[in-house]
Structure 1
Amino acid sequence: MEEKIRMQRIRMLSALGDFQLALSAADFMQEADEDQKYNHVELRRFRCYEHTAIVSYARPFSQSKGKTPKLSLKMCGVTLTPEEQELHDRVIDLRNKLVAHSDTEMMNFAAQAGEVMRHEGQPFYGLMVKHDEGLQFYKWMDQLDLIDLIRKVSFTLYDKMSELVQDDPKAFDIKVHFSDQSV
C-alpha cells in the first residue's frame, strides 16, 4: 500500500509540471486572433501550441508504462461543472484521436497526383497534399475556457498536495530522473 501511495504522489507531482506546460502553451495560443486570416505556416505555429496544451493537459490522465497510475480528477480533489467536465473529456478525446494518434474520424486532408513534367516521353507525377491547419480552440472564449480548466485542475491539485505535505513532509522528499531505474 505504501508503494502505491508513493507512486500516486509521483504521478501528482509530475502532473503539476505537465499542467504548467499546458498552461503556457494555452497562453501562447491567445496570440491568435479568431478574426484574423493566417497563412498555413502561422496556423501551424498555433497548432503546435494547441497540440502541446492538449497533450500536456491530458498526459497525466493517460496510462503510461511503469508503475505510476494515471491521474484522476478525484486524485486531484477537483469537482468540475458539467461544462468543465465536457471540456475535460473533449481535451482527452482530442489527445487520443487527433494529437497523439491519427484516428481516421479526425483526419482532414486532401491529396492529388498530377503530371508535372515529361522526361523522354515518360510522365513524372508529383504529389500535392494539403492538410487542414485549423485549430480546435480558435475562438478566444474557447481558449479562455481551456486556460480556466487547466488552472482549476492544476491549482486544486497543488492545494491538495500542499495539504498532504503538511501531514508527512518527508514523504515528499522525492527525486525522479529518467535515467534512474529505481522508480
Structure 2
Amino acid sequence: MSTNSKVIDIKDYEKLLCASWDLQNSLSALEFLLEECDYELAYTRVQVRKFKAFEDKAIISFFKAYLDSPGNVVNKCAGVKLTVTEKQLCKRVRVLRNKIVAHTDEDFTHFRVDSIEVGDETYFPIQNFEEKLFFGFREVLGFQDLIKKIMRYVCKFLFEEIQRNPTIRNHYKKPNE
C-alpha cells in the first residue's frame, strides 16, 4: 500500500481526513441501499426515488473523496493502486456523478407525457418517468469493494502519518465560515 515516508503538510492531512469521511458516507449510502432494496422485487416510484437518493449520495460522496487524477490527495498521499476493472468503475462513477450534478435530467431520463382532456379543450399533462437505479446488485457490491479498498489505503497512510508526524496527533479544525 503506502510507501510514502514524507511527512505531509497540514492541509493535505485535513483533505485526506475529509476524503476518508466522504468515503465512509459513500459506503454508508450503499449499505442503506442494500438494506432496503431487494433487487428481485418491484417497487413504487416513490420507493425507487428513495433508493436513488442513496445511490446518488454514494456516487457524489465517492467523487468528493476520490477524483481519479494524479494530483488528488488520496492518490498523492495514500498511493492507491487500482486494477483495470476498478479504474473502469471509477470512470463510470465519474460519468454518473457528472450526470447527477451537472446535467439536466432530460440528458439521462426516459419519460413519456400524455394528456387527458379535462373539459372545454383544456388538457392536463400526465407524466410517466421510467425511474431506475444506475447500478444492479452485483455492481453495488463491486462499488463497495472499491470504496473499501481505497479506504484501506487511506487508513494505512493516516496511521503511518500519525506515527511519524507528532504535530498532527491532536488536531482540531474549525469549518470555514
Please, what TM-score do these two structures have when normalized by structure 2?
0.81
Task: Please say which of residues 86-95 and 69-78 is displaced more in the overlay.
Answer: 69-78
The 5 A counterparts of 1:9-158 are: 9-31=13-35, 32-61=37-66, 70-97=72-99, 99-102=100-103, 106-112=107-113, 114-118=115-119, 121=120, 123-138=121-136, 140-158=137-155
- SS at structure 1 position matched to 2:125: strand
Alignment equivalent of 1:166, drawn from 144, 157, 163: 163
CA distance in 1, matches of 2:107, 2:151: 28
- Tell me the distance in 2 between the aligned counterparts of 1:72 and 1:16: 9
Equivalent pairs counted in the alignment come to 166
Question: Structure 1 residues 74 and 124 mapped into 2: Cα distance closer, same or farther (>3 Å)?
Answer: same
Q: Which deviates further from its counterpart, 166-175 or 41-50?
A: 166-175
Q: TM-score, normalised by structure 1?
A: 0.79
TM-fit CA distance, 1:177: 3.0
**1:115 Cα offset (Å):** 4.2
**Runs of 4+ deviating beyond 4 Å:** 103-106
CA RMSD of aligned residues (A): 2.3
Structure 1 residues 86 and 106 mapped into 2: Cα distance closer, same or farther (>3 Å)? Answer: farther
For residues 86 and 156 of structure 1, the distance between their equivalents in structure 2, rounded to whole angstroms, comes to: 19
Amino acid paired to 1:109: H
Q: What do the CA deviations read for 1:92-133 (whole angstroms, capped 9, x no partner)?
A: 221112x21225784213242524422xx4x33323333332
Q: In structure 2, give the amino acid aligned to 1:45.
A: K
Report the alpha carbon displacement of residue 74 of structure 1 after superposing the two structures with TM: 3.8
Specify the alignment match of 1:65 in structure 2: none
What stretches of structure 1 of length at least 5 have no aligned partner? Answer: 63-68
- Identity over aligned residues, as a percent? 27
Q: What's the secondary structure of 1:100's corresponding residue?
A: helix
Relative distance call for 1:86 and 1:161 in structure 2 (3 A) is same
